[in-house]
Amino acid sequence: MVKHINENKIPATVYNTAGTFICNHVMYGILYMVDKKYPNIKGGFIHIPYITSQVMDKKNTPYMSLDEIAKGLELAIEACTLYKEDIKTIGGEIC
Paired residues of 15 in beta bridges: 93
* Residue 49 three-state SS: coil
CATH of the domain at 48: 3.40.630.20
CB distance 91 to 13 below 8 Å: yes
Higher pLDDT, 95 or 80: 80
Residue 60 — left, alpha, or beta (φ > 0 → left; ψ -120 to 50 → alpha)?
A: left
Domain assignment present for residue 62? The answer is yes
Number of domains in the chain: 1
| pLDDT over 60 (residue 94) | no
- Contact in structure between 57 and 87 (CB atoms under 8 Å): no
Domain around 37: 2-82
pLDDT for res 19: 67
- In sequence order, what E strands does 1-95 have? 50-51, 63-64
Model confidence pLDDT, tens digit, residues 2-55: 999 999 999 998 877 666 788 888 889 999 999 999 998 888 888 899 999 999
